[in-house]
Amino acid sequence: MPILPTKIFTVSELNEAIGTLLDRNFGFITLEGEISNLRVPSSGHYYFTLKDEKSQIRAVLFKGQKAFIPFELENGQKMICFGRLSLYSPRGEYQIIIEQIEPSGLGSLHLAFEQLKERLGREGLFDEDRKKPLPAYPERIGIVTSPTGAAIRDILKVLESRSPGAQILISPTKVQGEGAAEEIASAIDTINTLDDVDVIIVGRGGGSIEDLWAFNEEVVARAISRSAMPVISSVGHEQDITIADLVADLRAPTPSAAAEMVTRSDIYIRKELNGLSDRLNLSATSKINSQKARLKLALKGLTDPRKKLIDLRLRADELLIRIENRVDEKINLLRSELKGAAGRLDSLSPLSVLARGYPMATTFPEGKIIRDIVQVEVGDRLVIRLKRGELHCKVETKI
């Protein structure tokens, strides 16, 4: 029979012993691998596998630690993780509990920038057709920046020299550190509640990517995107590009350049006025010459008004004679037709019958013409009308 060890372990005791060995011999380690099988349950913790070409290990990133990571974890990302090895006793599996994680070969802030840039780009926040034009001569200019930084001094200096009559509204805010992004977004929203602000300058001076990071936050990008007023972004130096620059209606390389973009120098204004004056003079001269040519052409086509009047009088007389002739012809025609109608009417008149010796009998007092003997009775009174006079009779007998 094989010799058994003197100590017999339970499964739980063995796992606990192995867990203790891991803690004592490894503690915190740094591990590089590719993320796979990533899942995030309702608890908010991140569970995934870190693997290389030959092996893999389970990994856990708890929700509290994830809050300090600026980018999103995705399958396929190659990461460098710092954490401690731990044994999960119920399944006898060891894993790494991650405290810090960052992309392998790429900074975490850089990765966060690229991820947000890609997502907002898909939404169309960078599209040119949604960018608003700047006003030519703004009268009220809003500024969102730190009230104590070099950026505000540079902006005010340029505005004072180039557009001394413009009204300046400063919405002071933090431009770096915790809570700066939320303050910047709130300041942009506040200026949008004011009346008659023509344009907003948002920005700060140069610095490291960490210093400028507030302008890479989504909350700032959303505030710029929903602004009803055009926004100029002027963050850092010319080589610094932030998410705010991409969303803004116009990007300025520096705060001073932003102030120059919203104003016009005296030399520029004088040049523009001279150009407008020249164009006005040229247009007026061209219009006058055109009207002169039209007038000259019109004068050639004019006739002596006295001759025109005589012609009109002659034409009127001619028309009047023609009208009188037509009227006379119409009157004669109507007279002839009337005469014929009178003759026909006279031939049908009862008086014409009487004139030929035929009397006309009518009842009395009704005056109805008697055509048949049945219309009267013995004793009825009748009126016999002759050519000259009437006879009043009484019927004695009907034959």
Residue 79 reports pLDDT greater than 90 = no
Residue 49 reports pLDDT greater than 80 = yes
The pLDDT value recorded for residue 273 is 63
Give 278 or 148, the one with higher predicted confidence. 148
The pLDDT value recorded for residue 268 is 54
Query: How far apart (Å, rounded) are the C-alpha atoms in residues 134 and 201?
Result: 11
The pLDDT value recorded for residue 102 is 83
Average pLDDT, the chain: 83
Per-residue pLDDT of 184-231, as tens digits, reads 999 999 999 998 899 999 999 888 778 888 999 999 999 999 999 999
Per-residue pLDDT of 18-30, as tens digits, reads 777 777 777 788 8
The pLDDT value recorded for residue 189 is 95
What mean pLDDT do residues 175-188 have? 93
Domain 11-106 falls under CATH 2.40.50.140? yes
Q: Which residue has the tokens 């008004």?
A: 305
Give 356 or 115, the one with higher predicted confidence. 115
Per-residue pLDDT of 87-136, as tens digits, reads 777 777 888 889 888 887 656 677 788 888 888 999 999 999 999 998 88
What mean pLDDT do residues 63-91 have? 83
The pLDDT value recorded for residue 287 is 85
Report angle CA 279, 280, 281 to the nearest 5 degrees: 90
Task: Give 117-264's CATH code, choosing from 3.30.200.20, 3.40.50.1100, 3.40.50.10550, 3.30.1180.20.
Answer: 3.40.50.10550
The pLDDT value recorded for residue 201 is 94
Per-residue pLDDT of 310-326, as tens digits, reads 777 878 878 888 888 88
Q: Where are the domains of the chain?
A: 11-106, 117-264, 271-319, 353-394
